[in-house]
Structure 1
Amino acid sequence: MAAIPSKLKAGDRVRFVSPASTPEREGIARRAEILESWGLKVDFGRHAFEKKAYLAGTDEERLADLNEAINDPEIRGIFSTRGGKGSYRIADRLDFDGVQKDPKFPIGFSDITMLHLSLYKRCGLIGLHGALAAEEDGNFSAENSEALRRALMQPGFAAVLSRPEEPTSALTTGGTANGRLIGGNLDMVAMAVGWALPDLRGAILLLEVVNMHIGQVDRQLTMLRKAGHLNGLGGVALGQFTGFDLKSDFSVINLLREHLDALDVPVLGGLPLGHGSRPLVVPIGTTARLDTAAGTLSFPD
């Protein structure tokens, strides 16, 4: 049974937690100011700025912050301060009963994909893949901020339009697909196999990647395909694949084409979702429509 959060309104309280790595305080303070300008009230998990090696505190501390936010009736949205590494260590220990009793949007991407996958598999919870993302100059684009505000606070979800300048746009095929949008960061999708990956039959699989070697991408897609996890897939939505050498004789685009052609499903590339410039926001777990001719990923529900 799906757990569908209510949209937020001015006066609602949201909380920043750190399920993965430690964020920079200044960047989170700036994000909190933007949320407050929308009329939201912002607070922070007790361990949001802890540091233990590459993690924001111990597993128990990070888990406690998440579960406290899940069970606090005053908290209406749960923002991850960042991705990095570590949410996969606690994704199977969330208070899933609490989520079903009081569903609220989890917001994040990258390593946070693991939480989206686990929460959808166990509870059918709709999450938001995205964040208030800063550009290379440190500023927050109005397009990115407005996309998140609309996803959180306005009815429905806006369609996302493919951008020709995104390298993965070259992989767009033909056709349409309808199904639940599931996925996010490829590294987390592959890591979720066997314990946190939902059934992908009939789904539209969202994939984005940052700072991975092309061989790693090949290994993960090969495993997903050969183990049968992509059998029956409805379609593929490709986000931003960043940090790759696209001028090599065999680029990540060539590699993706090999794997995706073997699936024989509609593919829409060029979606501004991930770690690139001006990323947008999409709901994970809700029904989506992929239209390659129109270049859109839309949400009819």
Structure 2
Amino acid sequence: MDTSGNLPSYRAPRLRPGDRVRIVAPACPPGREHVARGVEELTSWGLRPEVGEHVFDQWGYMAGRDEDRVSDLNSAFRDPGVRAVFAAMGGKGTYRIVDDLDTDALRRDPKPVVGFSDITHLHLALWARCRLACLHGPFPDPGDDGRGSVSADAVRRALMTTEPVVIRRDAGEATAAVTVEGTATGVLLGGNLSAVRTETGAGLPSLEGAILFLEHQRGTGLGEVDRALTQLTRAGALEGVRGVALGQFIGFEQDAGDATLGGWGIADILRDRLTRLGVPVLGGLPAGHGPHPPSIPLGTRATIDTAEGTLTVQPAVV
């Protein structure tokens, strides 16, 4: 399916004071203090936050059994009084439950899902199956010292206003050196590279006509990024992409200049794999697993402009 076509995305109404919102844990279990601070923050916006039944369950490294985690999600999707769904954290396990999401409920009553990292699996599945616009953003926990207040305010503005979101290139980011000049417009899709790769051949929606957003947190090293991008290329998943927006690739700083890696760093891998697409690439966006992450709509129209160093995204709410 060409994501640049005329089929509309489903965008929820913006949040207003008095709205109920639901906190869920599709992946790993969050700490109680973390959730309590988020509840306090959401309440300060005039919202009425609720905590899903199984948020503090634990089954292995996940927040309860698969059927319980998806039950919390579907309960929020089906409740007409719940106007947004927040993932308390990412981690592991969301990929196990995406086939059982009640996307019919979201078609009838769209509501944004907020999260990032492993929650990318949800975002991709919801776009593929019901074209729901979501939000790549953190759980609104400002922390005890308030250091997360900038990110929390970005979540608030992305959900409670209809202003476009503009993310500007930061020359200090490791991916800032990766640029293919030009401008491109399309629906913004993507998120965490590991999640995008895992959905290849399973639940990855067509990226034809899309701007692909990627961010990543180091696991085993440069090879994991190389393997992921090569797999996406070999599977034909990147055919028709109109542009690439690169966020943070955290933890790869130690690789630069390593003689055992031939002097390559993360920018070299990204440049080698992505420039051959022949589309504009904008690196250096301060979005991902770093401090103070912004909130970025997914499933709405976006433009990258390498001359201006900006990613401009239309809101996920109306």
Task: Report if TM-score (shorter chain) is over 0.5.
Answer: yes
What is residue 237 of structure 1 aligned with on the other side? 245
Equivalent residue runs for 1:255-274 within 5 Å: 255-274=269-288
Match of 2:28 among 21, 26, 42: 21
Q: Is the 8 A contact 1:14 1:43 kept in 2?
A: yes
Amino acid at match of 1:273: A
Aligned partner of 1:73 among 71, 80, 87: 80
Change (3 A) 1:155 1:133: closer
Task: State the Cα distance separating 1:133 from its structure 2 match.
Answer: 6.2
Secondary structure of the residue aligned to 1:250 is coil
- Contact 2:200–2:235 (8 Å) recurs in 1: no
CA 1:140 to 1:14, structure 2 compared with 1: closer, same or farther past 3 Å? farther
Partner of 1:169: 176
Contact 1:21-1:55 at 8 Å conserved across structures: yes
Task: Summarize deviations over 1:82-122 as a string: whole Å, max 9, x none.
Answer: 00001100111100110100110000000000000000000
Q: Is the 8 Å Cα contact of residues 134 and 140 (structure 1) preserved in structure 2?
A: no
Quote the residue 1:119 is aligned against: 126
Of residues 192, 195, 203 in structure 2, which corresponds to 1:188?
195
Retained in 1: the 8 A contact 2:41–2:142?
A: no
User: Any gaps of 5 or more consecutive residues in structure 1?
Assistant: none
Query: Residue 234 of structure 2 aligns to which amino acid in structure 1?
Result: K
- Deviates most, 56-65 or 134-143: 134-143
Letter in 2 for 1:48: V
Seen in structure 2, the aligned counterparts of structure 1 residues 274 and 200 have a Cα distance that, compared at 3 Å, is same
2:290 alignment partner, SS class: coil
Farther-moved stretch of structure 1 (10-19 vs 143-152): 143-152
Secondary structure of residue in 1 paired with 2:121: helix
Q: Which amino acid counterpart does residue 13 of structure 2 have in structure 1?
A: S
The residue correspondences of 1:215-234 to structure 2 (distance < 5 A) are 215-234=223-242
**Paired position in structure 1 for 2:103:** 96
The alignment partner of 2:100 has SS state of coil
- Judging changes above 3 Å, is the alpha-carbon distance between structure 1 residues 133 and 78 closer, same or farther for their aligned structure 2 residues? closer
Preserved contact between residue 9 and residue 300 of structure 2 (Cα < 8 Å): no
Superposition TM-score, scaled by structure 2 size: 0.91
Sequence identity, in percent? Answer: 48
Aligned partners of 2:153 and 2:13: how far apart in 1?
Answer: 18
| Pick aligned residue for 2:153 from 142, 146, 152 | 146
Would you say 1:253 and 2:267 are equivalent positions?
yes
Deviation per residue, 1:236-294 (Å, 9 max, x gap): 00011001124332111111110011111101111121101221011111010111111
CA distance in 1, matches of 2:67, 2:305: 43
Contact kept in structure 2, 1:133 and 1:278, CA below 8 Å: no
Partner Cα separation in structure 2 for residue 246 and residue 278 of structure 1: 24
Please tell me the residue identity of whatever aligns with 2:18.
Answer: G
Q: How far apart are the structure 2 equivalents of 1:279 and 1:264? A: 29
Cα distance in 2 for residues equivalent to 1:30 and 1:221: 37
SS at the partner of 1:3?
coil
Residue 207 of structure 2 aligns to a residue whose secondary structure is: coil
Q: 1:286 aligns with which of 277, 287, 300?
A: 300
Q: Secondary structure at the match of 2:124?
A: helix
Name 1:208's counterpart in structure 2: 215
What SS does structure 2 have at the residue aligned with 1:159? strand
Q: What pairs up with 1:24-35 in 2 under 5 angstroms?
A: 24-35=31-42
Tell me how far 1:138 sits from its aligned partner: 6.1
Contact 1:236 1:265 in 2 (8 A): yes
Query: Is the contact between residue 115 and residue 139 of structure 2 (CA under 8 Å) also seen in structure 1?
Result: no
The answer to whether the 8 Å contact 2:196/2:204 transfers is yes
Task: Give the number of aligned pairs.
Answer: 301
- Provide the rounded CA distance (Å) in 2 between the counterparts of 1:99 and 1:140: 34
